[in-house]
Structure 1
Amino acid sequence: MMNIRSLQLLLSLLVGSTVVAWEHIDEDAFRRAIAGHNYALVAFIEPSTAASQALEPEWTSALEKEKKGLISIDCSSAPSLCREFDVISCPALRFFDGHGNTAPYRGPRRTSSILAYLKRAIRPIITSLDSDAKISAFQSSDDYTAIAQINPQDSHVKTAYETLASQYRDRVSFGLVEVTDIPTAVGCYNNCDSLQFTISDFTSIDALPKLIENCLEPVIGEFTRASEVKYLQSGKSLVFYFTTSPKDRDAYVDTMRSVAKMYKEYLSFVTVDANEYGDLTAPLGLAPATLPRLSVQNPMFGQVFPYPRSRKITPEAVGGFLMDIVQGKQKPWDGTFTADEAGGHARDEL
């Protein structure tokens, strides 16, 4: 009888495309992979879970681009190994640095972010930069980079910066320039959203942590189990974009970034995986069959403003919709679905 892997390969030949699939290793191969001074980013997965299934195409795409340092374990086949490494829920991504240290991966579970993390993880915690050319190249070398220009007289800032680099090295690349003729300053660069944050006043003990947190805050974030409380308690209205497709999500972020920047002080723009949060569409006035869709919620007053299904989701149209809400021209949803909304199956286009 043909096994599943053989069937996948046969299907790929028949349709002329590659079928993505996990390439797990067993326990012995895993222990060899993390032995000595070998580094590895390990995905502990459970094939039956939706989250592991969602990770699969992103992980296999990353594996096609970077063969070294990416391995996966099927916890349904190696349960004792997963328990040994305290894997409570799947997927769990852990980085093994080859020196006995392990760190969780906390970034987005997408190909580009996984590869960026792997590149970042094998760098020094802080990279010394001794020329303008190196500074310029380093600044744009990662999604998020921090560069400190530190005068020797401010050794306390250097100590705080080193501590911060150890804490955030999984998300930010840190560089250091030693200067003697200019004051100490630290800059953080959000290259995803083309934003820059700089401080030179270090009298506040949380000045550096706040700098990094502000830098890491995306203009359009993801509404997840880990972030939902933060967004719901932010005091801002939320602009939800529901989709089941990562490609739709990425296209929306690229398209809507300029509008999100304009309203960043007052609104939180977030994307939502409708596979995971399908039950949230109805309370926001959206019929699941009409995804991808957008809706605005004001948690403080309990108001919801579903974006019309018939209107394309473009920066100009969404900007106008938000302005209509502000000016009172757009009335809150009354809690009932029109026949068009409830029965519609059309798909808005970006």
Structure 2
Amino acid sequence: MLRVAATVLAFHTLLTIAKAWKHVSESEFQSTLNEGDGTIVVAYINVRDNKSEHLETEWSLATPEAHIPFVSVDCEANPAICASHGVGSTSTVKLYKQGEAISTYNGPRRASAILSWASRVQRPAVSEVGPTELDDFRKADETVFLAYLDADDETSKAAFADVAGRYCEEFSFGMTTDADVLAAEGVTAPIVKCYKPLDGDTHEFTNPTDTGALEKFVKEASRPVIGELLPHNHQRFLDRGWSMVYVFAATEAERSEIRKELNKVARNQYESLTMVTVDPLEFPLLLAKLGLDPAVLPAGAVHQLSKDRIYPYPKGRGWTSSELQSWGLDVWQGRIKPWTPPGVTTTYDDLGGRIKATQRVSIRNNIPEVKIRVGGRDEL
């Protein structure tokens, strides 16, 4: 049922939107860069590339909602443009201001996320938020960090600005020092709140003078109930040390439906599991490394990091909360054996009881395209 619903949604989307790409020539590209302040978003694509094809649907949804021009360059037809702007792979999205690329998009290929990024990177790393902007700013992005500080608290201001400078391309950061705002909100400074409108969650942190602790809070509080796996955040998820639940689906429509369906079970296990959806085009080797058939989607697996064990989700089983929970209980109680890679002989003599929850992470990393640093060197 889930696959059918997602397919219908994707088909309907394709029927109701025009082709997204508005390819520009080299002269048109330079002219667009020089118009006004030259703030534009450019997708460098190749019409023969699967990633570009999948991006097109979301690009079509984003373009009508954008407040700045969204244009595209066909790298096959205009390789000189792509080369001159340092584009080594297609399906690359950049935002330009005054003719200079100020940000390259690293988020999920999803219309709302692309639009949020385009607005975010045009703001300062830390926005000054007054009483009239407060409500809108808390909903301005998928993840918003707002510091409520005393006007003379320079230590907290400096720590917050330091962390914001490192993560401002991923999340939005704001600061208010208005005494009336603090009183109206009923907060005692210093405090940092994380707002996540999509999940409806709010997290709080009361020690913003400690830069290391604040950064740790930003990384953990920003984690959605069900994350979207990307090359830049994979290691961050692994570093939690809890078991990873990977769910692969071919299209954003399917992944969105799965996130909705599994939201409740993921929320119940939020602290002790890390659940993510995965675009197979972003991680082409990962399916096989998890014992999954790349030709069969949706698919999924649990990677128990504490013992470096992998449990592929059974083929043909539905992607409902009840089915996933039932299977997960069998895994947890040791009734299912881990997957054994071809050519490997091993025994599991500790499957008679429950899997113990632990945050001890094996230094062996069998997940491709991610490097774990151990003892100052890269461990593949």
TM-score w.r.t. structure 1 length?
A: 0.79
Return the alpha-carbon distance in structure 2 between the equivalents of residues 138 and 225 of structure 1.
28
Find the residue that maps to 2:318 and give its secondary structure. Answer: coil
For structure 1, which segment, 106-115 or 300-309, has the greater mean C-alpha deviation from structure 2 after superposition? 300-309
Instruction: Tell me, yes or no, if the aligned pair for 2:18 and 2:60 is still in contact at 8 Å.
Output: no
For 1:168 and 1:161, the matched residues in 2 are separated by 11
Which of residues 210, 214, 224 in structure 2 aligns to 1:218?
224
Look up the match of 1:3: none
Preserved CA contact (<8 Å) 1:220 1:269: yes
- Cα distance per residue 1:176-231 (max 9 Å; x no partner): 21145742211122223233222221342323322322233233223444445555
- Kindly provide the amino acid, as one letter, of the partner of residue 150 in structure 2: N
1:334 shift after superposition:
6.0
TM-aligned CA distance change 1:127 to 1:281, over 3 Å: closer
| Aligned twin of 2:120 | 120
> 8 Å contact 1:242–1:292 — kept in the other structure?
yes
Deviations 1:232-262 (A, max 9, x none): 5653322221221221101111221222232
1:291 to 276, 290, 297: 297
Please, which moves more after superposition, 157-166 or 55-64?
A: 157-166
Query: What residue number does 1:348 align with?
Result: none
1:184 paired residue number:
190
1:158 paired to 2:164: no
- Residue equivalent to 2:318: 312
- Whether the aligned pair in 2 keeps the contact of 1:188 and 1:211 (CA below 8 Å) is no
User: Match of 1:331, SS?
Assistant: coil
Corresponding residue for residue 33 of structure 2: 34
Distance of aligned partners of 1:143 and 1:229 in 2 relative to their CA distance in 1, 3 Å threshold = closer
Where 1:24 maps in the other structure, the secondary structure is coil
Q: What is the aligned residue count?
A: 321
Q: Aligned partners of 2:160, 2:308: CA distance in 1, in Å? A: 42
Q: Deviations over 1:288-335 (max 9, x none)?
A: 554223322335545333333353221122122212211223333467
1:262-277 matches, cutoff 5 A: 262-275=268-281, 277=283
What residue number does 2:251 align with?
Answer: 245
Shift of 1:174: 2.4
Q: Is the 8 A contact 2:162 2:211 kept in 1?
A: no
Aligned counterparts of 2:226 and 2:295: Cα–Cα separation in 1: 24
Distance of aligned partners of 1:184 and 1:269 in 2 relative to their CA distance in 1, 3 Å threshold? same
The equivalent of 1:20 in structure 2 is 19
- For 2:86 and 2:341, locate their aligned partners in 1 and report how far apart those are by CA, in whole Å: 44
User: Aligned partners of 2:231 and 2:151: how far apart in 1?
Assistant: 43
Contact 2:41 2:68 in 1 (8 A): no
CA distance in 2, matches of 1:67, 1:134: 19
Give 1:66-85 correspondences, 5 Å limit. 66=66, 68-85=68-85
Provide structure 2 residue ranges, at least 5 long, that are not aligned to the other structure.
1-13, 343-380
Shift of 1:67: 6.7
Alignment counterpart, residue 258 of structure 1, candidates 264, 282, 302: 264
How far 1:283 sits from its partner (Å)?
A: 5.3
Secondary structure of the residue that 1:153 maps to in structure 2?
A: coil
Match of 1:195 among 193, 197, 201: 201
* Structure 1 unaligned regions, length at least 5: 1-14, 337-350
Aligned residues with identical type, % of pairs: 29
| Contact 2:33-2:99 at 8 Å conserved across structures | no
> For 1:188, what is the secondary structure of its paired residue?
strand
**1:263 maps to amino acid:** Q
Of 118-127 and 39-48, deviating more is: 118-127
Structure 1 residue 151 displacement after superposition: 0.7
CA positional deviation for 1:101: 5.6
Q: Which moved more, 1:56-65 or 1:297-306?
A: 297-306
C-alpha separation in 2, matches of 1:106 and 1:278:
17
1:150-169 per-position Cα deviation (integer Å, ceiling 9, x unaligned): 11231122233234434433
Aligned to 1:141: 140
Aligned residue number for residue 335 of structure 2? 329
Superimposed CA distance per residue, residues 24-71 of structure 1 (whole angstroms, 9 cap, x where no aligned partner): 111222222222413111112233322222212211221233373211
Cα separation, partners in 2 of 1:81 and 1:276, compared to 1, 3 Å: closer
Change (3 A) 1:192 1:80: same
Residues 192 and 208, structure 2, Cα contact 8 Å, conserved in 1? no
Secondary structure (helix, strand or coil) at the match of 1:206 reads helix
CA separation of 1:17 and 1:218: change in aligned 2, threshold 3 A:
closer
Greater RCO, 1 or 2 (C-alpha within 8 Å, sep 6+): 2
Higher deviation after alignment, 160-169 or 101-110: 160-169
**Partner of 1:108 in structure 2?**
108
**Partner AA of 1:136 in structure 2:** D
Match for 2:324: what amino acid? V
SS in 2 for 1:196: strand
Q: Cα RMSD over matched residues?
A: 2.9
Change (3 A) 1:140 1:91: same
Contact preservation (8 Å) 2:54, 2:251: no
Question: Paired residue for 2:49?
Answer: 49
TM-score normalized by the length of structure 2: 0.74
- Structure-1 separation of matches of 2:101 and 2:240: 35
* Equivalent residue number for residue 90 of structure 2: 90
Counterpart amino acid of residue 183 in structure 1: A
Q: Distance in 1 between matches of 2:166 and 2:148?
A: 19
